[in-house]
A = this chain, B = another copy of it.
């Protein structure tokens, strides 16, 4: 087995999925991308094909399968927040002209992270992009600190050049009926435009958007 022992089949299967996620891959690509032995990679990939998580494309390469898009759709349907948030975020993006995102906390305890569920890009030429589905750390960035429980005096939290140099952001919490934070809305862009006090600049707008969603 690999140097790292104690990894389960599911972990290996996920390695394969993510290796294929970027672009279709043949067995050799899989092997080098995952570090798995050929036979193992082949067996797992074949099993995933059987279940529609992967497919063989015209060239015989492994690509993400159609079962995955079906499951992905189902997943989106079972998460109504994203649908509700779409128009709100779009409005916010138009108001501010900057990139806006919706983050949710994901994972337990120490390994917790935040996931960008929704992302609309700034209309400016110089724009800061967070891809949908991206996983970001929980301890840096305004939305991250917000989701990790940091208090927000004015309804928002800001950060300047914290997670990424040159990027500033303001975030506000989306709360459920009982007041618990279930998500965070974030406006982010270059410091040059957001200034060193992004909260002053866009705090009100972000909070308003977050409140439209809360409840």
Contacts and interface: CB of A to CB of B under 8 A. Distances in A.
A82 B9 CA distance: 31
A158 to B, nearest CB: 25
Contact of A11 (B51, B55, B69, B78): B51
A55 B8 CA distance: 19
Contacts of A176: 58
Interface stretch (A13-21, A32-40, A141-149, A184-192): A13-21
A194 to B, nearest CB: 27
A108 B69 CA distance: 20
Given A9-B8, A9-B10, A73-B133, A79 B63 contact: yes
A61 B14 CA distance: 22
A75 interface: yes
Contacts of A44: 10
Contacts of A11: 47, 51
Given A17-B71, A58-B176, A182-B58, A66 B106 contact: yes
A21 B104 contact: no
A24 interface: yes
A29 interface: no
In this complex, the member of A8, A68, A115 whose beta carbon has the largest number of chain B beta carbons within 10 angstroms is A68
Given A47-B10, A52-B115, A106-B52, A65 B73 contact: no
Nearest to A111: B50
A74 interface: yes
Contacts of A78: 23-24, 63-64
26 contacts: A9-B9, A9-B10, A10-B48, A10-B51, A11-B47, A14-B51, A49-B107, A52-B106, A52-B115, A58-B176, A63-B75, A64-B71, A64-B75, A64-B78, A66-B79, A67-B133, A68-B72, A68-B75, A69-B75, A69-B133, A70-B132, A70-B133, A70-B134, A72-B72, A73-B133, A74-B133
Ranked 7 nearest A-B pairs via Cβ: A72-B72, A70-B133, A64-B75, A9-B9, A68-B75, A10-B47, A14-B51
